[in-house]
Amino acid sequence: MMKLSQEKAGKTPQQARSRVRVAKILAASTELIREHGMVGLTMSAVARRAQIPIGSVYQFFPTKGELIHRLYLDILETFHKPAVEALEASTSPPRFARALDGLVHHIYRFARADRLTRDIWGGLQADREITLAQMKDNEFYSVLLVQMAERAGSALKTSELPTRATIVTEMLDASIRLAMTRDERSGLLLVAEAITIAIRELGFDAQGARRQRKNMPPLNSEWVTEAGGTARRVQIGSEQGQGRAK
């Protein structure tokens, strides 16, 4: 299984008690940002919400920047399991189109709905460590797209795919960010067009793949990322999955 390895911000505790405290710090920080935005994230507020001494917050996260960096890495990692599943599902052009479409829309829907992600992305260019984390994460998706395209039978030469996948990854990333600034309908149209361009640029007949995809059996489940950042499968038609299937 593909795995992205990024060094976690803050100290990595070894003792169980310390790991519990770090988890409380991260949970409290996430709640504060989702309730009040970045302005609500202060070390003293985190300590009060987590019900731990403020010295413990600084012990594991000496700066607010390190705390935000850790939160962002945790968000990025929630998408990797669905991404690897998309790779495994890409066994033909229409399956490639379906897998890419599902993955990109999953990331977009979560990012649009989650204030923590929106606020971090809003300050992305101002934070060097978060920018570097995003660049490294995009490298993961570039490699993933190369493997997906090869597995599905791309018309491109193997030597052409890495560069093309890097460009496509950056394009999709930028498109999701732009779509988040638009109204919901315009955002979805923008994301859909970006996916069509990505499919074409990776060596597939975008329109043909989409037509074939419509004739495939419908999905019976999809990935959902919950408020706490955990990605899991839900059955389409279940209470949690209603309204998400396309």
CATH number of the domain bearing residue 33: 1.10.10.60
pLDDT tens for each residue of 159-186: 999 999 999 999 999 999 999 999 999 9
Model pLDDT, residue 55:
95
117: CB partners within 8 A, 6+ apart: 75, 110, 111
Strands (E) in 170-218, as ranges, are none
35 within some domain: yes
204 within domain boundaries: yes
**What pLDDT is stored for residue 115 in this prediction?**
87
Q: How far apart are CA 54 and CA 56, in angstroms?
A: 5
**CATH number, domain containing residue 100:** 1.10.357
Task: Please indicate, yes or no, whether residues 34 and 102 belong to a single structural domain of this protein.
Answer: no
Query: What are 238-244's contacts with CB under 8 Å, separation 24+?
Result: 244/109
Residue finishing a domain among 62, 83, 100: 62
Is position 184 within any domain?
A: yes
Q: Identify whether 9 is part of a domain.
A: no
Q: Are residues 58 and 136 in the same domain?
A: no
DSSP letters for 216-243 = SPPPSEEEEE-TTS-EEEEETTSTTTTT
My answer on whether 84 and 201 are in the same domain is: yes
- For residue 201, tell me if it sits in a domain: yes
DSSP-assigned beta bridge partners for residue 231: 225
**Which two three-digit tokens encode residue 17?**
């008690």
Residue 103 within a domain: yes
d(CA 200, CA 215): 20
Domain total of the chain = 2
- Amino acid occupying residue 129: E
165 lies in a domain? yes
Whether 107 and 187 share a structural domain: yes
Whether 25 and 123 map to the same domain: the answer is no
**pTM score, whole prediction:** 0.78
One domain, residues 114 and 147: yes
**Do residues 46 and 79 share a domain?**
no
- Residue found by looking up tokens 């939160």 in the block: 71
pLDDT of residue 109: 93
Q: What pLDDT does 206 receive? A: 75
- Please give the Cα distance from 44 to 58 (Å, whole number): 10
- Tell me what pLDDT residue 211 has: 61
Contact 152, 95 (CB under 8 A): yes
Assess whether 113 and 31 both reside in one domain. no
What confidence score (pLDDT) does residue 207 get?
A: 74
What is the span of the domain harbouring residue 34?
16-62
Same domain, 120 and 226: yes
- pLDDT value at residue 96: 94
Partners of residue 223 on adjacent β-strands: 233
Q: Are residues 50 and 111 in the same domain?
A: no
Quick one: 28 and 107 in the same domain? no
Q: Where among 40, 62, 84 does a domain terminate?
A: 62
Whether 67 is in a domain gets the answer: no
**Judgement on whether residues 231 and 131 belong to the same structural domain of the protein:** yes
Is residue 52 within 8 Å of residue 24, measured between CB atoms? yes
Low-confidence ranges of the chain (pLDDT < 50): 1-2, 216, 218-221, 223, 225, 227-246
